[in-house]
Amino acid sequence: MKEMTQKEINQQSVLAADEFLREIIQKPADFVADKSLRDVLKSQGAFANYEDTSRYIVPCAKNTQESNANLVLEDGYAGLDQRRINALKELNATIGKKERPNPETKAGLKLQVEELKQEVEMLTIHNAMMTGLLTDIKETASNYAERSGSRQLQADWVEQRKKISAKVSFINNKHLLKAMSNNVTLINNKEL
């Protein structure tokens, strides 16, 4: 009987790994108890290094797994990787835990950008509301000062209103704030 070459072993391993992923997707509850399996499924490299001799899955480099998957699987490595992701999602759904993508991956960066966009939008709305509130407070204070009949109170209010207006103008000056933000970033980068 002819002994298998390393390439044949790796190809058999890819087929076995593909079948294993399909099992996890079909019956994730059967695999929930294996906590280390979730860690294996979290990255391509960890999955390529996974070993289960009872299933004929041997560890190999990610590139080796990729090239062999492209040879033996109809949908290639892309299909294998998508099944890895789906298997992890199914396990997490069964456990009830939503997995956040690694912030160093494309999916993680995309999620981070979306979260930052939402935060910017929320802060923009918040700032507009605060500016409106400040304007209302200024008008109310101005009305009280005028109705008080006290010339000193009215003069004090005129001075305070000028200071408040200058601060609001400063806060609403996007170009100035951007320049300040860039300076803070430069200072923070120099400290690192």
Residue 187 lies in a domain: yes
This prediction has a pTM of 0.51
What pLDDT digit, counting tens, does each position of 147-169 carry?
888 889 888 888 988 888 888 78
Report the pLDDT averaged over residues 6-15.
93
Answer yes or no: are the C-beta atoms of 80 and 69 closer than 8 Å.
Answer: yes
Task: Domain count for the chain, please give it.
Answer: 2
Q: Identify whether residues 79 and 117 lie together within a single domain.
A: no
In a domain, 120, yes or no: yes
Residue span of the structural domain in which 36 resides: 6-95
**Average of per-residue pLDDT across 33-58:** 92
Residues 64 and 112 reside in one and the same domain = no
pLDDT at 189: 56
pLDDT tens digits for 104-146? 788 778 888 888 999 989 988 888 888 888 888 888 888 888 8
User: Does some domain include residue 1?
Assistant: no
Provide the pLDDT for residue 24. 95
In terms of domains, do 186 and 157 share one?
Answer: yes
Q: Average the pLDDT over each of 20-29, 62-71, 183-192 and give the range with the smallest value.
A: 183-192
Q: Is residue 100 part of a domain?
A: no
